[in-house]
Structure 1
Amino acid sequence: MALWDRFKESASNMQTQLNAKKNDLKSGAFRDASMAMCALVSAADGTIDPAERQRVAALIGTNEVLQNFPALDLQRRFEDYLGKLTADFAFGKVAILQEIAKVQKKPTEARAVIQIGIVIGGADGDFDKTEQAVVREACYAVGLNPQEFDL
């Protein structure tokens, strides 16, 4: 099986796992960490491409697990996190990783946030090295081994 096919299958499996845990993923910390992860993956290379911003916003709006939360609230949080990254990428990244780390004590939420990052990163067909690197950093922030996610 080609690497890309394995990745697509893995991302699909992660989305299935997320959907199965939807009822356990309703906390404000999960909501905030998920939007922080989406913003971090969107801006992984230090820039925020308008097309990628729109694509991620659309994915947020259609992700079954994230439908536990009001769409406008998610959009506002996503845009706020992107704003932090735009103002000062290095400082914004630190703040975002701190937000993601708030789910560290809840392993189900921590894994779900990482899985959302992987799903978002691979949605365009290319989970590139910079996206993998920020998701790997998020793994460390929540106390999970990146190898668990093939990172």
Structure 2
Amino acid sequence: MKKFLSLFAAGLLLTGTLFAEAFADRPTTVDKLPEAAQKFIKTHFASSELLYAKVDDDLFGNDYKVVFADGVSIEFAGDGEWKEVETKRGEVPAAIVPKMIRDQVASQFPAARIESIDRDRRGYDVGLSNGLELKFDRQYNLVEIDD
């Protein structure tokens, strides 16, 4: 019985290791990203120096992450649509941020700049340089301010 349990435990460990290896992050190049991601990078970050790009394989598909030397990082969904843009101390390009969100930030927080934006099916999360995080629904209504 002890032998069986030892073999069973070893089998689980091996399976877990192989499974984790199969779904690990791996390096890639920008030209291997989905077309939409390549176009997004060329449009908004053409002059930025690429540090690395990686693909995150998981059970439900791939996600991609691109990091530039200036600290900007972009996450893309499997279809190449952007999910998150984050800067270290810079500003997210205005063309990425929906106009209604830009206008609200400019009117309510004129001294702040948008340092990150994250979008999902519920709406947008916007990080400001003053430390505030704003949450917007899909209709661009400000629904929460978190400090």
| TM-score, normalized by the shorter chain, greater than 0.5 | no
- Structure with the bigger RCO (C-alpha within 8 Å, sep 6+) is 1
The normalised TM-score by structure 2 is 0.28
> Over alpha carbons, which structure has the higher Rg?
2
